[in-house]
Amino acid sequence: MNPQGAHKLPFDRPGGRDVGGSDGSGGDVEMGSRGHTVVADKVIEKIAGQVAGDASSAGGSSGGFFGIGAHADLSARPKASVELTGNIATLSVEVGMLYPVPLRQATEALRQRIRAVTELTGVEVRQVDIKVSWLTTGAETNGRRRLL
């Protein structure tokens, strides 16, 4: 039985056995007798956000209270959410990007980078939805227009 918001990871080995088990004999131990690993949805969300934030052109929002007064911050972790169905995940990531950037190429590169969550968690990522919520030049403007 899995707790709400958690996911059991299947670690299948050929023959259902693992070498060098903890039974003290140094022999094989049945996989079912060793227990299981549970990864919560929030953990997958944080890993996806961190992986997305490691991209140099993507960031999140920081500050504010319940989203009011938040500001663009390329060093903040982007917001991520996950929808799990068995061992298959659909990730949604909300990011901000550095302007000017070709959005189609940048989001595709970010999508490929986020697919690394599969290797990090053991959960198969089938779909990555990316919402670009803001663009920034990276320069502090202090509310004033910059003349070109």
pLDDT tens-place string over residues 70-86: 667 777 889 999 999 98
Q: What is the pLDDT of residues 5-27, one digit of tens each?
A: 666 665 554 554 444 455 555 55
Q: What is the pTM of this model?
A: 0.67
Most confident of 35-39, 58-62, 104-108: 104-108
- Among 98, 11, 99, 21, which Cα is nearest to 55's? 98
Beta bridge pairs of residue 31 = none
Residue 73 host element (H or E): strand 71-73
The stretches of 5-126 forming alpha helices (DSSP H) are 41-53, 103-114, 117-121
Q: Closest by alpha carbon to 7, among 115, 99, 87?
A: 87
**No. of helices (H) and no. of strands (E), the chain:** 3, 9
Q: Of the ranges 33-37, 53-57, 105-109, 138-142, which one carries the lowest mean pLDDT score? A: 138-142
Identify the CA nearest to 61 among candidates 99, 96, 100.
Answer: 96
Token pair for 107: 């989001």
